[in-house]
Structure 1
């Protein structure tokens, strides 16, 4: 063997050895996701329980302000559809903005992606969820995750009266395999009586020719936001979109890889309001929050996560919920990046 060949061979062996060592060290730092258990969740939950004291329960909708700030729950549905729970998993809360991803799925299934996004953008969010953004300039909502885009999305679902809302409710019941899920009439009435800003968006879009119906369509939006569920239900929703719209029990009635990609991409770029960019850096997973205190998370191809804690940060995201997700992501290296 020539001297140079020997040197290159030795160098190759050295590099391979270093890479192997790094792989081993990396594996040691990263836990196997098959080891996730209720004990894991309980440990993370207890570590982050006190974050509620630094947040604030949403009260701009009076009924939401009645929620117990100390309530907290953590749920995971693993790759095999097995459910792990910790905390106040029986505690119900309203979906609020999390309902937007379900409405988007229903609208796109009916009208097609091109027809829906002809009326709104794919843009990320850098403004609060209830911002008018460019409605008054270009006339179109930034994306379907902000209130304006979500109101428009729901108005695109076919059917008179509350039929569009019932389609959204039925889809939530199907995905979670929970037929008892319904909406809170008291929260709905509270949202309707105080939702003047959303009403302004509705009429601005109606003025721009994007919406042709009446306030029944806006009522459907208020109702979908008022759907009540649990952290476990949110984990099942996260699982559904993480696995090409296949339900946690393997039911593939709505299997559609493209719809799943669309929903997950919207969750990643705009699902956490104006915190979405920073959240993508820290957590790196498609997620959707709601001011009711819930967050649903999709770990693509792997699992779904659901958290609940009603005390919110300045962006409208669950404070303890975010930190629970962040700890789980770090422990199991779940970020897609």
Structure 2
């Protein structure tokens, strides 16, 4: 009887020790797995912005669209939405600029919601490219765009959104307003008209795809594309969109009405392989994060499962990507070791 009690006592002590050791190990694991993005501060972002401000001198504003050529090349902004939904902004945070090609991610989401991924992507492809964003790519050969991030694929994507007239545009605009929680977002009529007047290559792509049976209807569908590119946003708006796609399409405040891990994976994968146009390969090597740029000077970044980042500087490199924006993002990635390819 005494031996039995003694055995139970010894077992109890050993069990308690195991729990204690396990608890310590768990505590260490929690400490070691603390998300380093929690350490992002206004001071950190301000320092990164100032360190990279002068890179605008190495690029040029997109003056092939007359209204975009009026952008101030010295304006710069940087924004992060942390995993807990906290927003940190530095620089010219109130400066609005046109979203341009970053709108393609939202248009793709809507088209896939309505028609299914197979229907949409069968009409184009998942392919990357070393060609510029406005290249005809293989439209003349296979008759299909390469991916939804190049202009041809994006024009087709918007054309696939259901609704007559400007209904597809309103859907894109409403989704951007929802993601950012900002109903004041509108498109610039001046930029839209400037894009329409000079968008001859885009018009050629539209009619090639119409000839190939991919698009039906009139140039109203192309006008919706021009208008969606002319939607005006801030760096903070981009960070919120980046956060949305990084976190299974859950909004930064926790609203999960569109939650979808599959949609999140689709959008981020397209951003990773083609979001920075013909610079996507080099960008993936150096930054290693799903990102989407626009010739208005914005770059939107998703750090999968973690944060969203928005950068703005209107001066662009040869691929149409913001020079200072790229360097700010690269600095943040290197400081926090955010590159997916460890």
**Structure 1-normalised TM-score?**
0.91
- The corresponding residue for 2:331 is 327
- The corresponding residue for 1:299 is 303
- The corresponding residue for 1:248 is 252
- The corresponding residue for 1:125 is 129
User: Is the 8 Å Cα contact of residues 37 and 307 (structure 2) preserved in structure 1?
Assistant: no
Taking the aligned partners of 1:118 and 1:300, their CA distance within structure 2 comes to 26
Aligned residue pair count: 311
**Larger Rg over CA atoms:** 2
- The corresponding residue for 2:315 is 311
- The corresponding residue for 1:135 is 139
User: Is the 8 Å Cα contact of residues 231 and 308 (structure 1) preserved in structure 2?
Assistant: yes
Taking the aligned partners of 2:304 and 2:184, their CA distance within structure 1 comes to 28
- The corresponding residue for 2:25 is none
User: Is the 8 Å Cα contact of residues 69 and 311 (structure 1) preserved in structure 2?
Assistant: yes
How many angstroms does 1:210 deviate by? 0.4
Taking the aligned partners of 2:77 and 2:258, their CA distance within structure 1 comes to 28
Taking the aligned partners of 2:35 and 2:266, their CA distance within structure 1 comes to 29
Corresponding position: 1:164 with 2:168 = yes
How many angstroms does 1:171 deviate by? 0.3
Query: Secondary structure of 2:292's match?
Result: strand
- Runs of at least 5 residues in structure 1 that lack an aligned partner in the other structure: 1-26
Query: Secondary structure of 1:312's match?
Result: coil
- The corresponding residue for 1:70 is 74
How many angstroms does 1:213 deviate by? 1.2
Taking the aligned partners of 1:299 and 1:58, their CA distance within structure 2 comes to 27
Q: Counterparts of 1:1-150 in structure 2 under 5 Å?
A: 32-150=36-154
- Runs of at least 5 residues in structure 2 that lack an aligned partner in the other structure: 1-30
Query: Secondary structure of 1:40's match?
Result: helix
How many angstroms does 1:125 deviate by? 2.1
Q: Counterparts of 1:222-301 in structure 2 under 5 Å?
A: 222-301=226-305
Query: Secondary structure of 1:122's match?
Result: coil
User: Is the 8 Å Cα contact of residues 31 and 331 (structure 1) preserved in structure 2?
Assistant: no
Cα RMSD between the aligned structures? 1.4
Query: Secondary structure of 1:116's match?
Result: helix
Taking the aligned partners of 2:305 and 2:153, their CA distance within structure 1 comes to 28
Taking the aligned partners of 2:97 and 2:106, their CA distance within structure 1 comes to 17
How many angstroms does 1:222 deviate by? 0.2
State the Cα deviation string for residues 250-306 of structure 1 (Å, max 9, x = none). Answer: 000100100000000000000000000110000000000000000000000010000
**Structure 2-normalised TM-score?**
0.90
State the Cα deviation string for residues 140-182 of structure 1 (Å, max 9, x = none). Answer: 0000000000000000000000000000000000000010000
